[in-house]
Amino acid sequence: MDLKTRTLLILSAMLLIVNYVETMVIPALPTIENDFSISTTLAGWITSAYMIVAAATSPLMGKLADTYGKKKMYVIAIAFYIIAVFTAGFSPNIWVLIAARAIQGVGFSMFPIAIAIITDLYPREKVAFAQAILSATIGIGPALGLLIGSYVVEDLGWPYAFHTAAILSLILFVISLKYLPHTGHRVKESVDYVGASLIGLGTVMLLVYITEGPTLGWGNAENLMLLFLSFLFFGAFIGYEMRVKEPLLKLDLFKIRNFAVANIVGLISGVGMFTVFIFLVYYAQLPKPYGLGLSIIQSGLLMSPVAFGMVIFGPIFGRLMPKVGPKPLLIMGSILSMLAYMLLMVYRTTPQDVLVDGFLSSLGLVAVILPLVNMVALSLPDQYRTTGMGMNTLLRTIGGAAGPVVATALMQTYQVPIVMMFNNQILVMGYMPSSTAFNYIAIFGFSMMLLTLLGSLFTKNYKFAVREKEKVTAVAG
């Protein structure tokens, strides 16, 4: 096995475990809630803590990788992850579990670092295919998390899902230490910890505001203070980066058209793409006639073909992109996602209907993510590649956090009562999201993907044509 293939397999295996654990947590939330006797709001922080820290630390971890070496920071990220999942599995209370999940967020920086390592190793015309293999873990991991995770949580208990992840992560940590190569060129600059702190704090404040919005209220004074502070920190970050000699990320890099487009489109598409996940999960499990009335395991079985669609078509799109460029794929992915949302409005009566809609959305998802990652990786100089990937991860995570909140808010706003007759009296037993709520979610998702389509039109297209053996020429379109 050659160096490139071995490296790709090692990186893919680790990212597979990460995506498995993050999806496994979702069906485990009700069980954790009961075990610790906590509210649903507090249980929600089990996922929010991970997401917030992952977004806030990605640019810093990327900069450290560019400065001290990608392999070194990659194995450090795995070490954080191992400690976190080990602690999570033995959590005596909810606070320890939330803290462990936050530490796991630091480990998420493995993804942008892995993309940068692959970009260093592979020739430019093959980078997209290798990146597609890594991105496919976003599909395989959730499929395993929904299927295997549901059985593990139901039969053994949620701690065992963390135990198994800790053991597998430790094995891959040892393998990574031994076999991962050192790649790229290090930047001989000091690390801008002030800039990293400013953008990290701004990200934390914004994501906490978004997370707490449905509970505290969007106009709540305390919550609005978080939003104000986030804008203050972001403004301070921009001002500081323009003055400091060695910034976290040179703002001039945003003058590179494809880097700017990838970040703007990544933020918008993140909102749209993660909205569809909330739609599918809730609609599948709501009782009939409000939804499909499926169990957690049945819902996992329904969603797995959707996830595997990414696995199948990711490498296909990866091979196609060097020939056609990122722009056509972005346009195609946006249109497929818009079509999926349109179908979710009118074609969702049976599990088979939702399967078709979800499969179409998965094709749109991979057709958008792959060009965005490739554009960031190839448009930046080598010495700033991982930092740029971290910044792109931050923006896509903010978008991914906003989408589910909007979907949840719509489900809470548009509800219908559950009624029953008792002694000739109508009793209201509770409330369920209405059909109108799901229609509005679909319209919102459609609008986000329409904006993604418009943003994609500004992409500077490029292709790679092999003219002689081992000689590759980039052709800009």
423-438 pLDDT, tens digit each? 677 666 677 888 898 9
Average pLDDT of 176-200?
83
Q: What is the Cα gyration radius of the chain?
A: 22
SS3 416: strand
pLDDT of residue 387 exceeding 50 = yes
What pLDDT was estimated at residue 452? 95
CA distance 12 to 5: 10
Question: C-alpha distances in angstroms, 390 versus 55, 191, 242, 397, 452?
Answer: 8, 14, 19, 10, 20
| Token pair listed for 253 | 């890099």
Average pLDDT of 104-118?
87
CA distance 329 to 248: 31
**Burial (Cβ within 10 Å: 0-12, 13-18, ≥19) of residue 93:** exposed
What pLDDT was estimated at residue 300? 67
List, in sequence order, every residue forming a beta bridge with 417; answer none if it has no partner: 431
Residue 468 — very low, low, confident or very high, per pLDDT cuts 50/70/90? very low
Q: Is the dihedral angle over the CA atoms 63, 233, 258, 331 positive or is it negative?
A: positive
| Token pair listed for 36 | 């610790």
- Which residue, among 100, 45, 46, has the nearest Cα to 211 in the 3D structure? 45
- Tell me what the pLDDT averaged over the chain comes to: 83
Torsion on CA atoms 415, 421, 427, 433, rounded to nearest 10: -10
Higher pLDDT, 471 or 173: 173
User: Which of the 8 DSSP states describes residue 286?
Assistant: S
Q: Which of 274-278, 347-351, 470-474 is most confident? A: 347-351
| Number of Cβ within a 10 Å radius of residue 424 | 5
Q: Say which CATH superfamily domain 3-191+248-476 falls into.
A: MFS general substrate transporter like domains (1.20.1250.20)
- Evaluate if pTM is beyond 0.85: no
CA distance 335 to 328: 11
CA distance 138 to 127: 18
Task: Decide if 281 contacts 299 (C-beta within 8 A).
Answer: yes
Task: Decide if 193 contacts 59 (C-beta within 8 A).
Answer: no
pLDDT of residue 471 exceeding 50 = no
Distance spanning both ends of the chain, measured CA to CA: 36
Q: Which of 215-229, 272-286, 333-347 is most confident? A: 333-347
| Number of Cβ within a 10 Å radius of residue 276 | 29
pLDDT of residue 263 exceeding 60 = yes
- List, in sequence order, the alpha helices (H) in 90-189: 94-107, 110-121, 127-155, 158-179
Helices (H) then strands (E): counts for the chain: 15, 4
**% the chain with pLDDT above 70:** 89
| Token pair listed for 462 | 């490029």
pLDDT of residue 199 exceeding 80 = yes
**40-68 and 193-216 helices, crossing angle to 10°:** 160
CA distance 378 to 115: 11
Least confident of 252-266, 375-389, 433-447: 375-389
CA distance 99 to 92: 12
List, in sequence order, every residue forming a beta bridge with 124; answer none if it has no partner: none
CA distance 403 to 207: 12
What pLDDT was estimated at residue 467? 46
**94-107 and 40-68 helices, crossing angle to 10°:** 30
Question: C-alpha distances in angstroms, 75 versus 38, 118, 178, 272?
Answer: 35, 15, 11, 32
Average pLDDT of 406-419?
79
The pLDDT tens digits of the residues spanning 20-77 come to 787 777 767 777 888 888 876 677 778 778 888 888 888 888 888 888 888 999 999 9
Domain boundaries, the chain: 3-191+248-476
Higher pLDDT, 209 or 333: 333
pLDDT of residue 83 exceeding 90 = yes
Residue 305 — very low, low, confident or very high, per pLDDT cuts 50/70/90? low
The pLDDT tens digits of the residues spanning 320-367 come to 888 899 999 999 999 999 999 999 998 888 988 988 888 898 889 889
CA distance 136 to 366: 8
SS3 255: helix
pLDDT of residue 477 exceeding 70 = no
The residue with tokens 């000689």 is 471
User: Which residue type, as a one-letter code, is found at position 352?
Assistant: Q
Q: What is the largest CA-CA distance in the chain?
A: 85
Least confident of 83-92, 233-242, 405-414: 405-414
What pLDDT was estimated at residue 445? 92
pLDDT of residue 161 exceeding 50 = yes
The pLDDT tens digits of the residues spanning 228-251 come to 999 999 999 899 988 888 888 788
Residue 472 — very low, low, confident or very high, per pLDDT cuts 50/70/90? very low
**Strand pairing category for 425-433 and 415-422:** antiparallel
pLDDT of residue 94 exceeding 80 = yes
